[in-house]
Structure 1
Amino acid sequence: MAGTKTHDYHILPPDIWPLAGAFSALTMTSGIAMTMHKLAYGHVVLALGVLVLGLTFFSWFSNIVKEAKAGDHTPVVQLHLRYGMILFIASEVMFFVGWFWAFFDFSLFPSTIADVVGGQWPPKSMEAVLDAFDLPLLNTLILLCSGTTVTWAHHALIHGDREGLKKGLWATIILGVLFSSLQAYEYAHAPFPFGVNTYGSAFYMATGFHGFHVIVGTIFLAVCLKRAYNGDFTPRQHFGFEAAAWYWHFVDVVWLFLFIWIYVWGNWGFPTE
């Protein structure tokens, strides 16, 4: 019969949200540039871009959830979704490689920027750095615990324990919020500002982008928790949650590298506060 589906792939119908996402991203980045250059209405353009982009995310992902419920996510489609998530995380890995590269370049070869850092690392102009074994260590333990709770939730789902799934997600979300709160406190009381020298720039860009990823991951898991209460996930079909768990483990691993290399090794032998 004409029009009968004879394959396992999901052919998407025409949708406005990809176009809306492209234009809202353009609007948001234009607003950021306008705001940085102190142009008129920069904040308005930025707010409009963020608002429409948020609406795009909500509507687009809502459509994906509806497709999953309708049975459009066949095993073949789920496999390709996994490939897509793996490639996305790989691109995020390379993003953080860039920040680590910058930090190591500054720290291992300070003589190349002697006029900026005084030929030493951390820069001569800095009086103190953060103590790696104070709040950073506590945040490390919090994220490691959150990795175990999200794994608990995943195993509970696989074994049909929906209460364990919800409790594990609640614990992970609470730990994620706690991590973000402690990092905000750390930034507010840091003994050095952003942008004064290469150390401050590299530190805040690397740890700040990681903090942004923690916030995104927390929202990701909160959506999964809402879907868990709606009864959306099954032991055999739960890629939405699986993708969130992968993303959260990625965030955990990146923080371990940040803690070891930037907080501990990067501050070795320097006065702490």
Structure 2
Amino acid sequence: MDEHLILGGTGKTGRRIAERLRARNVPTRTAARHGADVRLDLGEPATWDAALAGVTAAYLVEPDLRTVRLPAFVAAAASRGVGRLVLLSAPGAVHPRHPLFAVEAAVRDSGAGWTILRPGWFAQNFTETAWRDELRAGELALPAGDGRTAFVDARDIADVAVAALTSDRLHGAALELTGPRALSFGEAVELIAAATGRAARFVDIDAETYVTRAVAAGAPPAVARIMAGVFTALREGQDPGPQDGVRQALGRPARPFEEYVAGLRG
């Protein structure tokens, strides 16, 4: 039977996609460097064959923007008969200097049916990344100012990905995925604090301070600088605001941030 391969199968979107596919009895194989059904390291082509064996559809995630390796994996997947590719990309990937620009091009040129997902900031970043520990300590410090963005629920991303992996309806679509309403980080933190009953606040810091702190916490300097630039763009009002990709894909509105927050109570 056709197998669906989920890269990043232990991550925020990958594990949710795998859960949904398995609930539908769709044969599903998760792949990651650790903790998944099959070990897959994009930097080790020797691990690719086992991951791709019998696969007809794949969800693709680039784990490291410093060393983009997905284009070669895409070519290998297409050569092995994978006929459907769904790529987790990013809004900025439409620009040639973005690390994912070449990945999107590889997917579009692969010869397979493809769908590209460009989600904005994940709501789950507040509870499933390093932000969680900062919030629990009472303060989230980022160089975002009062910039506003429509945080997207990872459950919506997973729902769209499953639709793209299991039908032809979204082939050839590049979908901008966001929540329905833009919030500042300060507003988001206030909503989370009210729901959880834990005191927390957002603190605006300058980009250099952010980079220094991120590197001290173990982030590679290049990644810290990239993220500082992303936050600075948000601060400067460059976020495009709510987009309609979830409704286009699913025929329903995106989940509001408040629905995500409601799940944090207790």
Same fold (TM over 0.5): no
* Higher RCO structure, 1 or 2 (CA under 8 Å, sep 6+): 1
Richer in strand (by share):
2
Richer in helix (by share):
1
Give TM-score scaled by structure 2 length: 0.24
Q: Which has the larger radius of gyration?
A: 1
Give TM-score scaled by structure 1 length: 0.24
